[in-house]
Structure 1
Amino acid sequence: MRPLPTLRQLRYLTALAEHLHFGRAAEACLATQSTLSAGLQELETILGVTLVERTKRKVMLTPLGEQVVTRARVVLRGAEDIADLAAASTEVLSGPLRLGVIPTIAPYLLPHALPSLRQRYPALRLFLREDLTARLLDRLATGDLDAALIALPWPSPEIETMHIADDGFMLACPPDHPLALRPDLSAADLIDQDLLLLEEGHCLRDHALSACHLPGPAKGEGVLGTSLATLVQMVANGLGVTLLPEMAVKSGVLAGTDVVTRPLRGAGSRGIGLAWRPSSPRKAEFRLLGEALKAGFQ
């Protein structure tokens, strides 16, 4: 039988592909740089090919190395699924769980939901990663994350989702703004307003526009914010109005400002959902996690 790569060697290779730096890759693998380098050389010897180009200035993978990395990620994800399956058979929601969360949910839901989650499942070790939806789902697909808390709808056949709650939208504006004085507002009243939005890539931007049936600005036009907190500060400084999720308003995103919110008649909402790989053996656990996260909406 010919020798085969070990999981450790494949993990070293995928880490190097991600960081393109021996030191950072070794740190990510909790190994020394010399150990990682030796492991990669052993992998190349076993396969009889060159996977990594090494120069004094940079590190890069060969074309074959890129192909091997793609397959290595599948192998590593399968090995992790085996470990997860074994862990799930002993005690539910225990041990490490890597959860991705988008930035328009994380600071507003987690402080309310995590205390009850820790109380209900004390053996759970939750590792959180905050990022935009597309990048979280990429990490979910490669096995770097176990599940992700995202806003729905999100068109992807490669994930299964559990709906947790609905999160409506409210108009945020300065207290002396004409819309703040109106007793009854609808989404149509926003068409001619200076509407402040998040940067492209934030799913909240598209969900808010869709919920209020509003067209988006032309590419390169409009004032864009990097976070909800930034949008609130721009509103407070009279740059325009914005749409905020109710979750953020209830969690105090307006604290320290005089910005006011008003309901919008006919405005829809975004869904909050938990996503995971269809192949994951921990589906039952993720549904329990979803039920526990609902406590943050009570």
Structure 2
Amino acid sequence: MKYVHGYSGRETDRLSDQANTLASLLHHDTQYDPGSNVLEVGCGVGSQTIFLAANSPEANFTSIDMSEVSLAEAQSKILERGFRNVSFQQANLFDLPFAEESFDHIFVCFVLEHLPDPQRALAVLKNVLKEQGTITVIEGDHGSAYFHPDSLYAKKAIQCLVDAQSALGGNSLIGRQLYPLLTAAGYKNVSVDPRMVYADSSKPELVDGFTRKTFTAMVEGVEATALERKLISKAEWDKGIADLYATAEQNGVFCYTFFKATGWK
């Protein structure tokens, strides 16, 4: 799995901004029973792990990631906040070091978009899920972004991110595909709940936390790739980024939809 956004300190900050800004939208209804064993797949630097641990303090979480550096950062965050219900392990989700039916629940957030075969990943995860266990999957969809003032250049900059991720085998439009992916992988009673971020100047925390520091920062992160691959000219890129920031000004509006899906084994 190749991570299109990279592993810089700026990306770590962006992930934290994103998680903090979207916690109530995405995680307010993610809670697990006391004593249940939950596998968090692709925990990264622990930005989502913090909210999982806080929302279900008596559940037991095993959080895995391929990056040793990210796991160390995640563990530091969890210990700093005094949580004792999370253990971390370096692992590849396509080669899980767990016995079949080891977990009551599985949580996957912003992971499938980076995989060349997300349906296979979901099928592999199903093997370590107990009968009647649940999976929760959260993904964004960059095709859902729309804004005011409208801008062709901003749309071209966003498309650069979509194309860059596709070139690495990922799919940043995957949010709209969660229902067919989960059903094809054999999960039952699949339900998908779209969750829109709407940010205008009456919501300054969302404007700053999402429009500026999450979405626009994410697009900015692929500048070098976009220019190297000649996906866009430097002048068009600069105009597109400037126009994205304009949507965070007094008369700007930005909308984006995340998709939260659940299914049962």
TM-score over 0.5 (shorter chain): no
Instruction: Report the TM-score, using the length of structure 1 for normalisation.
Output: 0.28
Larger radius of gyration: 1
